[in-house]
């Protein structure tokens, strides 16, 4: 069993720790300073500590899941313990170049999961440093696939990935909420409305993923001339739903780039 350490067991770090431990294929130790907040992780077989150096020394793979502005500080704290180990950072906006400078002996991967890790349905994109060999990459992919789907991307696309699939659950939650409100407006019971909206998002995504039919084809499968769906689609198109989503992702990408620039300046001062 490979040992994995998670430093920064907050929202995403705790989810990763739990999923890996529950699989039974990884031994997992996780840290944060307020350790009482993660007592529950013990129930899933995760060891907990407030000592980041203990995590690093006992793990073959170390995942850093603290806030972006803390990532470099935390990695420097454990850097000497990372000789030939795999270091995966899930921090937004922190480039491989900075991670590598903070931990020169580690083999560095930058990954961007999303909160659906909790249900093993994250879409996780990762970029790797050139020093990562095929065997190491296979281990990284095996680990990331415990959380859902994993795909490699060029590092330069990471801000866009952050904006689309990293932030994506918030957009889709907004959509589910909007559909549920719509259900309430046309008289559906509350619970029924939320469940039917969420399940429709889930089912449509599953249909795309399993059939790989273009979304336009899926839409065609529902549309009938002068029917109900085209009536609804007319108003969605009129409201500019597509451009609203495109603008949202574009704005979030720009924001990720701004944060990266700010962090870069902050680290220069350090």
- Chain residues binding ligand NAP by CB under 6 A are 7-13, 31-34, 37, 52, 65-68, 70, 74, 90-92, 112-115, 166
Other CB atoms within a 10 A radius of the CB of residue 254 amount to 12
The CB-of-179 to ligand NAP minimum distance in angstroms stands at 22
Q: How far is the CB of 39 from ligand NAP (least distance, A)?
A: 12
Question: Which of residues 68 and 95 has its CB atom nearest to ligand NAP in the complex?
Answer: 68
| Radius of gyration in angstroms for the set of CA atoms belonging to the chain, rounded to a whole number | 21
3-state helix vs strand vs coil in the chain, percent to 5: 60, 15, 25
Q: Among positive and negative, which fits the CA dihedral 204, 209, 211, 213?
A: positive
Nearer to ligand NAP, 31 or 197 (CB): 31
Span between the terminal Cα atoms of the chain, in Å: 38
Report, in Å, the least distance between residue 91 CB and ligand NAP.
3
Nearer to ligand NAP, 85 or 193 (CB): 85
The least CB distance from residue 234 to ligand NAP, in Å, is: 34
- Give me the DSSP letters along 32-78: -SSGGGGGGGGGGT-EEES-HHHHHHT-SEEEE-S-HHHHHHHHHHH
CB nearer ligand NAP, residue 167 or residue 197: 167
* Least distance between ligand NAP and beta carbon 137 (Å): 20
Judged by beta carbon, residue 122 or residue 193, the one nearer ligand NAP is 122
3: buried, middle or exposed (CB in 10 Å: 19+, 13-18, 0-12)?
Answer: middle
Minimal distance, residue 90 CB to ligand NAP, in Å: 5
Q: Decide whether 65 or 102 has the Cβ nearer to ligand NAP.
A: 65
CA distance 230 to 220: 10
């Amino acid at each position: 069993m490979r040992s994995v350490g998670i430093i920064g067991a907050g929202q995403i770090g705790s989810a990763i720790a739990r999923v890996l431990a529950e699989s039974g294929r990884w031994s997992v130790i996780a840290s944060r300073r307020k350790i009482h907040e993660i007592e529950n992780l013990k129930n899933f077989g995760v060891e907990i500590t407030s000592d980041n150096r203990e995590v690093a020394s006992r793990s073959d793979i170390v995942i850093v899941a603290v806030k972006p502005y803390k990532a470099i500080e935390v990695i420097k704290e454990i850097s000497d313990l990372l000789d030939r180990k795999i270091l995966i950072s899930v921090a937004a906006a922190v480039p491989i170049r900075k991670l590598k400078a903070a931990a020169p002996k580690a083999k560095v991967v930058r990954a961007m999961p999303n909160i659906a890790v909790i249900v093993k349905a994250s879409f996780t994109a990762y970029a790797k440093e050139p020093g990562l060999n095929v065997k190491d990459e296979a281990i990284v992919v095996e680990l990331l696939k415990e959380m859902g789907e994993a795909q490699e991307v060029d590092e330069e696309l990471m801000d866009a990935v952050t904006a689309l699939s990293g932030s994506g659950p918030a957009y889709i939650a907004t959509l589910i909420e909007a559909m549920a409100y719509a259900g309430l407006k046309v008289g559906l019971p509350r619970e029924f409305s939320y469940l039917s909206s969420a399940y429709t998002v889930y089912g449509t995504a599953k249909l795309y993923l399993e059939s790989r039919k273009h979304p336009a084809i899926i839409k065609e499968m529902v549309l009938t001339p002068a029917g109900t769906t085209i009536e609804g689609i007319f108003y969605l198109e009129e409201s500019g739903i597509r451009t609203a989503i495109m603008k949202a992702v574009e704005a979030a990408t720009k924001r990720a780039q701004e944060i990266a620039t700010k962090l870069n300046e902050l680290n220069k001062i350090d």
